[in-house]
Chains A and B, each alone.
Chain A
Amino acid sequence: MNIIETEMLTKRFRRYKKQAGIAGSVKGLIKRDYEEITSVSELDLNIKEGEFVGLIGPNGAGKTTLVKMLTGIIAPTSGKVSVMGYYPNDLKNDFKQQYAVVMGQKSQLFFDLTVEDTLRLFKEIYGIPEAKYQSAKNFFIKLFHVEELMNVQVRTMSLGERMKMELIVALLHNPRVLFLDEPTIGLDSVASKQIRGFLREINEVKGTTIILTSHYMEDIKALCSRSVVINHGSKIYDGNTEQLFERYQKHKKISLTFDAPMELPEIGFGVSMISETPYKKVMKVSREKASELLSFLMKFNPSDISVEEEDIGTIVERIYGEEGSSPDEIS
């Protein structure tokens, strides 16, 4: 059963084009030029209950605008949208009772108070009975390992701790759908990994449908069985995540750091060097040869080593470049 359905969904914004300088500012008082931006263009999307879907695309692709339309925050310009049978922008409380949204930079927490205080507020807002509230709270406290943070002022928490708390607040009422907009933005790799682990468990244990927008490939790869790639407001891929990366992610970026100046010999493996200093080497290698190259590089005793996936921008370019086809053909 589809829990989310969109058909030809479109969102256009009008943007004031202001000329620079005093003269431009004065001119803007008399006559203004506007440009129309299409953030989401004729997008068709169906998501089934219990799915974990990744919405990916470069900055400005239209991911967040899509989430805002699905949650009712903004109204579509045209097209159809239905989430759990509701038209989101009607902003019905019955609808809002059944979903949660976490936006990386928009907090529901009261910074001067403790998380316990915010949770109490949300218990009442969502009408959660005391017994259910206690059991949900204890479940999340154990899952997120945050016992000692419940009575700490939110403003004194680290970014990673705060994000865990945002997730607890969002999940307290056991929503059917959870929208996550860049939940790992600004987090270090340890915190990101923890958040990913929690999300996987929520999806598996509670059956929550999760829509995750991110431009971090690691998030999508680790969590989402299905990916929807959006660029310039249009869907350019909709399908299996593994296949997406198999087909379009061709390289890995390897960074090596050394304690002493290091001169590497001719490496081979088809490596192309991205940057090089005596203490740090950054190189690109094909996915197939990455593990072989890593074994070779370990011989030089690097003090630190990191392997990164190609960014979404490169993948989008490759989808366009290799296929030159319509989204339907690609998916």
Chain B
Amino acid sequence: MKYLEISKIYIKSQLVWRADVVFQVLFTVTKILFAYLLWGIIFNDRTEVAGFSFQSMLSYYVISSFLSQIEMSDGISSEISQRIRSGTFSKYIVIPIDIQKYFIAMEVGVVAYYGIFQFMAAFVWVIIFRIQFVVSHNPIIILCAFLLVVLGLLFMVQLNYYLGLLALKYQEIGTFLMIKNNLVAFITGSIVPLMLLPEGIVSVMKLFPFYYVTYLPSMLFIGQLESEAVPGLVIIFIWCVMLQVLIHVTWGSYRRKYDGVGI
């Protein structure tokens, strides 16, 4: 119950700011509008690009941008590192909670809030543009995609929590965050679309967890790369377990370094 209440309080915190809600919706709408226009031009004189039809490309875009927008765990590493540096991390230490679960619950609250608005905005635009949403008809693949989304979001929370904890030893973790952000951007295909990369490089990327955070679930939802569903679940699950062990060891050895000095 305590973690549910933590999720609720973060939903309430998000709801305080009306302008933020409006701009988030506008941002989603603008992205979808832009994608519609861009891909409309590209598909004007052809019916297929890299194996995607116009409708499946738009479906992929709507789903992947929805998933990447609800992945907001970045805030966890900055919250933890800033509080460790300022000495206010104590506020989590003195209350009877598991600190990592607190941050997972916080993320659930934030994702629930933004997810609802992003979903509504995406849904309205799918209706307005009459996008014939291409979705897999295989319920097992849909289930795998949902599980991948959950494990992917969990992994990102774990990763950002772990990076935040590094502030106990290194104080300044800006470089770690920069490396993580570039790695995530590259492997999730934000810098170069994965379909344009040589197969060998993509195979290596598949060993990293980021491939399974937004890219693979989006492809599964639109009925592509179905053969990768089960291996993907296994790989991301192994990453989650490994990271959990790393968090446990890191917290155990670094927490004694916390000096609570700052303010």
Residues of A near any B CB (own CB < 8 A): 13, 68, 71-75, 89, 91, 93-94, 96-97, 99-101, 103, 105-108, 110, 112-113, 117-118, 120-127, 153
Given contacts A74-B259, A105-B263, A125-B97, A113 and B5 within 8 Å (CB-CB):
no
Given contacts A91-B93, A124-B1, A106 and B9 within 8 Å (CB-CB):
no
Contact B263 A120 (CB under 8 A): no
Contact A89 B256 (CB under 8 A): yes
Contact of A68 among B88, B90, B95, B255 (CB under 8 A): B90
Beyond A100-B94, A121-B9, 13 additional pairs, beta carbon < 8 A: A73-B93, A73-B94, A73-B258, A73-B260, A75-B256, A89-B256, A96-B95, A106-B91, A113-B13, A117-B9, A124-B2, A124-B5, A125-B6
> A82 CB to closest chain B CB, in angstroms?
18
B259: A residues at CB distance < 8 A: 13, 74
Residue in chain A with minimal CB distance to B257: A75
Compute the total of residue contacts between A and B using a CB distance below 8 Å: 75
How many residues in B have their beta carbons less than 8 Å from beta carbons of A? Answer: 26
Give A123 to B5 CA distance when docked, in angstroms: 9
Residue in chain A with minimal CB distance to B83: A106
Given contacts A110-B13, A113-B12, A117-B9, A74 and B94 within 8 Å (CB-CB):
no
Give A288 to B96 CA distance when docked, in angstroms: 50
Q: Is B189 an interface residue (CB 8 A)?
A: no
Residue in chain A with minimal CB distance to B90: A73
Given contacts A89-B256, A106-B87, A125 and B96 within 8 Å (CB-CB):
yes
Residue in chain B with minimal CB distance to A111: B13
B81-101 interface code vs A (CB 8 A; 1 in, 0 out): 000000110110111110000
Give A108 to B16 CA distance when docked, in angstroms: 18
> A12 CB to closest chain B CB, in angstroms?
11
The contact sample of 25 A-B pairs, CB cut-off 8 A, is A68-B90, A73-B90, A73-B94, A89-B256, A91-B255, A93-B96, A94-B96, A96-B94, A100-B94, A101-B94, A103-B90, A106-B87, A106-B91, A106-B263, A108-B91, A108-B95, A110-B13, A112-B17, A113-B12, A113-B13, A117-B9, A121-B9, A124-B6, A125-B97, A127-B1
Contact of B90 among A106, A113, A117 (CB under 8 A): A106
> A67 CB to closest chain B CB, in angstroms?
10
Give A212 to B262 CA distance when docked, in angstroms: 20
Give A68 to B88 CA distance when docked, in angstroms: 12
> A128 CB to closest chain B CB, in angstroms?
11
Give A103 to B95 CA distance when docked, in angstroms: 13
> B90 CB to closest chain A CB, in angstroms?
5
Given contacts A103-B90, A124-B5, A125-B96, A112 and B260 within 8 Å (CB-CB):
no
Given contacts A96-B96, A125-B2, A110 and B9 within 8 Å (CB-CB):
yes
